[in-house]
Homo-oligomer: A and B are copies of this chain.
Amino acid sequence: MPSGTLLYAQSGGVTAVINATASAVIQAARARRVRVLAARNGILGALREDLLDTASLTAAEVRGLAHTPGGAFGSCRLKLKSADEDRAKYERLLAVFRAHDVRWFLYNGGNDSADTALKVSRLAAAAGYPLTCVAVPKTVDNDLAETDCSPGFGSAAKYTAVSVRECALDVAAMADTSTRVFVYEAMGRHAGWLAAAAGLAGQGRDDAPHLILFPERPFDEADFLARVDAVVRRVGWCVVVASEGIRTADGRFVADAGGGRDSFGHTQLGGVAAHLAGRVKDALGLKVHWALPDYLQRSARHLASATDLEHAMAVGRAAVDCALSGQTGVMPVIVRDADAPYRWHVDIAPLARIANHEKTLPAGFIRRDGYGITAAARRYLSPLIAGEAFPPFGRDGLPVYVVPAMKALRRRLPAWTG
- Distance in Å: Cβ of A68 to nearest Cβ of chain B: 7
Q: Is the CB of B177 within 8 A of A41?
A: yes
Number of copies of this kind of chain in the complex: 2
Q: Which residue of B is nearest A236, CB measured?
A: B74
Residue from the list B168, B393, B401 in contact with A388, Cβ < 8 A: B393
Say if the beta carbon of A169 comes within 8 Å of chain B. yes
A174 contacts across to B, CB distance below 8 A: 13-14, 71, 75, 77
- In contact, A74 and B176 (Cβ under 8 angstroms): yes
Q: Are B169 and A397 in contact (CB under 8 A)?
A: no
Whether A296 contacts B167 by the Cβ 8 Å rule is yes
Q: How far is the CA of A377 from the CA of B294 in the complex (A)?
A: 28
State whether B167 touches A299 (Cβ < 8 A). Answer: yes
- How many whole Å from A399's CB to the nearest CB in chain B? 6
Instruction: State how many angstroms separate the Cβ of A110 from the closest Cβ of chain B.
Output: 14
Q: Is A17 an interface residue (CB 8 A)?
A: no
Find out whether the CB atom of A305 lies under 8 angstroms from the CB atom of B170: no
The answer to whether residues A398 and B165 also contact, given A44-B177, A177-B76 and a CB cut-off of 8 A, is yes
Which residues on B sit within 8 Å (CB–CB) of A277?
257
A232 at the interface (CB under 8 A from B): no
Known contacts being A169-B69, A299-B166, A302-B166, is A288 close to B259, with CB within 8 Å? yes
- A69-B166, A69-B169 known; A262 and B178 CB under 8 Å? yes
A396 adjacent to chain B (CB < 8 Å): yes
- Complex contact A74–B173 (CB within 8 A): yes
Residues from chain B with a CB closer than 8 A to the CB of A170 are 14, 69-71, 295, 298-299
CB neighbours (8 Å) of A77 from chain B are 174, 177-178
- CA of A300 to CA of B162 in the docked complex: distance in angstroms? 9
> Is residue A263 within 8 Å, beta carbon to beta carbon, of the partner chain?
yes
| Cβ-defined partner of A176 (8 Å) among B41, B69, B302 | B41
Q: Which of A73, A76, A289, A397 has the most CB of B within 10 A?
A: A397
Residues on B with C-beta less than 8 A from A281 are 258-259
| A404 interface contact, C-beta 8 A | no
A384 to chain B, nearest CB (A): 8
Q: A10-B173, A162-B398, A170-B14 are in contact. Are A182 and B74 (CB under 8 A)?
A: no
Residue positions of A touching B, CB distance < 8 A: 10, 13-14, 41-42, 44, 68-78, 158, 161-163, 165-179, 182, 200-201, 257-259, 262-263, 268, 270-271, 274, 277-278, 281, 287-296, 298-303, 305, 307, 382, 385-388, 390, 393, 395-399, 401, 403
Q: Can you name 21 A-B residue pairings with CB atoms under 8 Å?
A: A10-B173, A14-B173, A41-B176, A41-B177, A44-B177, A70-B169, A74-B173, A74-B175, A76-B178, A166-B299, A167-B299, A177-B262, A179-B295, A200-B397, A270-B289, A271-B274, A291-B293, A293-B296, A307-B397, A386-B396, A388-B397
Closest A-B pairs by Cβ, 6 of them: A70-B169, A71-B173, A385-B397, A166-B299, A41-B176, A291-B294
With A162-B302, A165-B398 given, name 12 new contacts (CB 8 A).
A14-B170, A71-B173, A78-B177, A161-B397, A170-B295, A291-B294, A292-B292, A302-B303, A382-B396, A388-B393, A388-B397, A390-B390
